[in-house]
Structure formats: C-alpha cells, structure tokens
Amino acid sequence: MNRVFLTGRVQSQPDTAYTPRGHRIVTFPLWIEDGKFGIDVIFTGVFPADVGHKTGEKVTVAGSLVKAKERAREVLKVRASKIIWMEE
C-alpha cells in the first residue's frame, strides 16, 4: 500500500494548470520542517477557492508517492487525494 500523510508549510503560491479536457491540476512545493526536506504536491480535484493559499500556510496532505521525470532524473512527488488547510 502506498499512502502518505505529510504536514508542512506551502513554500510558494500554488500553480494552477488545466488539461485539454478541462481538469484542474494544482501543484505546490511543501516544506516538511521535522525532516528538513521539501517535496512537490500534485492535486487534481476540487481545490477550495475560499482559502487564502499563501506562502507559509500549514497544510496536511494525504496521498501517495509517485515517480516523475525531471531534467533527465527521477524524483518523488506526492499525488494528493486530500488537502487539509490548518489554522494556527
């Protein structure tokens, strides 16, 4: 089973793109403070429009790890199935 749950901070403003069929894809880098590492998050689905989505906001991401090819090398990313925006 490939399930991960990560809590961290959004490192930069989320990017939004659309597939040719009109599906929304949101990506953003997530900084995990406890492990001192960053990982890219890919989310397809209903992204809440009423949340500020600012750099530094704390979120919990549930999803799975996926391999992606970036500049002739493979990297791990998180394909998120759920994002919970945390209040501080």
Q: How confident is the model at residue 86 (pLDDT cuts 50, 70, 90)?
A: confident
What does DSSP assign to residue 22?
A: -
pLDDT of 29 above 60: yes
pLDDT tens track for 7-24:
999 999 888 888 898 888
pLDDT of residue 67: 94
Helix (H) or strand (E) holding 72: none
Q: What is the pTM of this model?
A: 0.85
Q: What residue ranges in 33-85 does DSSP mark as E strands?
A: 37-44, 58-70, 73-85
| Direct distance between the N- and C-terminal alpha carbons of the chain, in angstroms, rounded to an integer | 32
Q: For each of the domains in the chain, give its residue range(s) and CATH number, in order of start.
A: 4-85 (2.40.50.140)
Q: How confident is the model at residue 47 (pLDDT cuts 50, 70, 90)?
A: low
